[in-house]
């Protein structure tokens, strides 16, 4: 099978925004160590992070990072070993992250919203032997301490306050550890950029529990170089000043990690770092710091626009905003433009593509509903169920090829067979998303093929919730779906068949409370409906699709 001419000829090149090309030279031997050193060599005295008014220059962060790298080295962390970060956005996230990078370790970042149960799953699935977390999470960790096998645990307080958790042979205090290592490490690991894994980024698939996407140094550097091309153009021709970012995206997620933490090393930019999505603090930073850039997801922007804290705040400093991790509603885009005076950019990507694949820049031709054109070195096509490429205008599954596409899923050989295929000498990734390309090669996303639920920009996996619900003694059968919600993108609803002996004794709220206790705040069902039966296929498979269609019709009538 051959590729269509529009892919062979990169036909979208004639429609690309200024400053974006189809091809881009990426240094093949460059690693994240080099990305970090680029920052130190080019912007040593620049203020990189502002955390509640405390400023950190690049040089200060570099010294702290290499001191902590010396400590990790003496603790036994070696190249290729896996270190887990369970932290909110804070300077210590940057310090510990890049210290591990210096040693050639592989990182896996864990959501600060996770419960102990979810923490244990990611640690065990990734094979992490080292964990760095904040003191506030110790109680959750203790619930599953006997279910994980960790060599060392390092505990910190983001405000550098005293840690009350006692040290043991396994548990070490970050501040005391750093005090013992005053000399910055002058060593860095030798990295094979295309083979060595930098990050195991947990994501979801069409089935099953979250999976770890293996992202090599080359995957991520390729993505960063593409981001840099567009950002260099933006700084010179659009912002006409350097980037001052309001950093609200969580860094545990690849969107925030790549576009804020890592990309920030390439521009000498400044970031106001927030550990949580605090609307009062966001208003203060916009009012006093006058940032010119913010990256987020639809729900974040909706909440910023509707917050009483923002009522009298002049938002005209926010010249650049990018929306990702969920469809950008037209009304949200228009309201943002009314409040700031500037268009909102949109992008599309996955954890499996090191965050990005498609971009609709603010200086390109506006097509509402489109996520734009491919990044440099990236190919995008539409295929049918037989993986045959379709002509422009036809609807099918979106597939992506490029140097930023993951190596594969961690310890999931069968999943890798399903998600990858080769055509025309290229390795293609099946996204599970349904879309079409118009006659100017703009990509329009139509729907998700996956059952993935998008709640406030978070990816939520129905089966993970269902597996927990099946642990409840009153539940006989269940199905979880996403239902449309104008504020959240989708809300989470569970349909449940109770066991006969539990009917009339267990309430919907009992089920919600059970899930809430065992799942992160963005995962538990907000709605529960008891039903007598669930729609099923001929072989007995529960049909979530049928439930979604019924719910959509019911809500449309309202």
CA angle 515, 521, 522 (to 5 degrees): 100
Position 246 in a domain: yes
Are residues 114 and 258 located together in one domain of the fold?
no
Are residues 522 and 435 located together in one domain of the fold?
no
| Residue 241 CB neighbours (<10 A) | 10
Are residues 345 and 365 located together in one domain of the fold?
yes
* 364 DSSP assignment: S
pLDDT at position 369, please? 87
Are residues 295 and 433 located together in one domain of the fold?
yes
Are residues 268 and 381 located together in one domain of the fold?
yes
Position 92 in a domain: yes
Are residues 541 and 402 located together in one domain of the fold?
no
Range of the domain at 239: 5-27+216-448
Are residues 438 and 458 located together in one domain of the fold?
no
Position 198 in a domain: no
Q: What is the CATH number of the domain that holds 538?
A: 3.30.300.30
**pLDDT (tens digit per residue) in 501-537:** 999 999 999 999 999 999 999 999 999 999 999 987 6
Distance between CA atoms of 313 and 541, rounded to whole angstroms?
A: 52
Tally of domains in the chain: 3
Q: At which of 406, 424, 448 does a domain end?
A: 448
Are residues 142 and 273 located together in one domain of the fold?
no
Q: 117 near 518, Cβ under 8 Å?
A: yes
Are residues 143 and 168 located together in one domain of the fold?
yes
Are residues 259 and 361 located together in one domain of the fold?
yes
Q: Which helix (H) or strand (E) holds 225?
A: helix 217-234
CA distances from 157 to 54, 113, 128, 150 (A): 15, 17, 22, 20
Are residues 245 and 324 located together in one domain of the fold?
yes
Helices (H), 290-439: 298-306, 330-340, 413-419
Q: At which of 190, 207, 238 does a domain end?
A: 190
Collect all residues with Cβ–Cβ distance below 8 Å to 139 and sequence separation of at least 6: none
pLDDT at position 208, please? 59
Position 330 in a domain: yes
Distance between CA atoms of 528 and 454, rounded to whole angstroms?
A: 18
Ranges of the chain whose pLDDT falls below 70:
204-208, 447-450, 537-541, 558
Position 206 in a domain: no
Position 195 in a domain: no
Q: 204 near 125, Cβ under 8 Å?
A: no
Q: What is the CATH number of the domain that holds 291?
A: 3.40.50.12780
What is the distance in angstroms between the CA of the first residue and the CA of the last residue of the chain? 48
Q: What is the CATH number of the domain that holds 84?
A: 3.40.50.980
pLDDT at position 558, please? 65
Are residues 78 and 23 located together in one domain of the fold?
no
pLDDT at position 204, please? 52
Q: Which residue in 398, 486, 404 sits closest to 445, CA to CA? A: 398
Distance between CA atoms of 124 and 117, rounded to whole angstroms?
A: 11
Position 401 in a domain: yes
Position 208 in a domain: no
**pLDDT (tens digit per residue) in 59-71:** 999 999 999 999 9
CA angle 551, 211, 257 (to 5 degrees): 95
């Amino acid at each position: 099978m051959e590729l269509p001419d529009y892919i062979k000829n990169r036909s979208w090149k004639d429609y690309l925004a200024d400053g974006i090309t189809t091809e881009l030279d990426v240094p093949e031997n460059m690693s994240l160590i080099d990305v970090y050193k680029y920052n130190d060599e080019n912007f040593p005295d620049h203020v990189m992070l502002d955390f509640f008014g405390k400023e950190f220059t690049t040089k200060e962060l570099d010294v702290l990072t290499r001191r902590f790298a010396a400590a990790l080295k003496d603790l036994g962390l070696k190249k290729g070993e896996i270190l887990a970060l369970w932290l909110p956005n804070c300077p210590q996230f940057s310090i510990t992250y890049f210290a591990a990078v210096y040693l050639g370790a592989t990182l896996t970042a864990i959501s600060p919203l996770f419960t102990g149960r979810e923490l244990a799953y990611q640690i065990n699935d990734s094979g992490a032997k080292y964990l760095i977390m904040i003191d506030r999470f110790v109680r959750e960790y203790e619930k599953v301490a006997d279910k994980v096998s960790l060599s060392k645990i390092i505990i910190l307080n983001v405000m550098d306050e005293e840690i009350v958790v006692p040290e043991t042979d396994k548990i070490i205090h970050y501040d005391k550890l750093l005090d013992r290592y005053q000399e910055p490490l002058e060593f860095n690991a030798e990295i094979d950029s295309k083979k060595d894994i930098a990050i195991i980024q947990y994501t979801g698939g069409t089935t099953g529990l979250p999976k770890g996407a293996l992202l090599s140094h080359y995957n991520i550097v390729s993505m960063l170089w593409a981001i840099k091309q567009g950002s260099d153009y933006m700084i010179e021709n659009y912002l006409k000043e350097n980037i001052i970012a309001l950093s609200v995206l969580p860094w545990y997620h690849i969107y925030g990690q790549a576009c804020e933490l890592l990309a920030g090393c390439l521009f000498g930019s400044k970031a106001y770092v927030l550990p949580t999505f605090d609307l009062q603090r966001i208003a203060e930073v916009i009012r006093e710091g006058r940032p010119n850039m913010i990256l987020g997801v639809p729900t974040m922007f909706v909440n910023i626009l509707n917050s009483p804290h923002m009522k009298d705040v002049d938002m005209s400093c926010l010249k650049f905003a990018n929306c990702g991790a969920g469809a950008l509603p037209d009304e949200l885009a228009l309201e943002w433009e009314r409040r700031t005076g500037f268009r909102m950019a949109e992008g599309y990507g996955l954890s499996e593509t090191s965050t990005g694949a498609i971009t609709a820049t603010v200086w390109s031709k506006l097509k509402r509903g489109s996520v734009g054109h491919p990044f440099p070195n990236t190919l995008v096509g539409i295929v049918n169920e037989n993986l045959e490429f379709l002509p422009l205008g036809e609807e099918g599954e979106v597939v992506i090829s490029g140097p930023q596409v993951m190596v594969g899923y961690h310890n999931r050989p069968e999943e890798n067979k399903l998600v990858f295929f080769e055509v025309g000498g290229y390795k293609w990734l099946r996204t599970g998303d349904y879309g079409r390309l118009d006659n100017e090669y703009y990509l329009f996303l139509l729907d998700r093929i996956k059952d993935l639920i998008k709640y406030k920009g978070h990816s939520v996996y129905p089966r993970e919730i269902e597996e927990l619900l099946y642990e409840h003694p009153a539940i006989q059968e269940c199905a979880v779906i996403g239902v449309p919600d104008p504020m959240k993108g989708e809300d989470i609803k569970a349909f449940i068949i109770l066991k006969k002996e539990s009917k009339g004794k267990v309430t919907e709220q009992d089920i919600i409370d059970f899930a809430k206790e065992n799942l992160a705040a963005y995962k538990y069902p907000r709605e529960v409906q008891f039903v007598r039966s669930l729609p099923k296929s001929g072989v007995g498979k529960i049909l979530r699709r049928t439930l979604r269609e019924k719910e959509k019709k019911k809500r449309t009538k309202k």
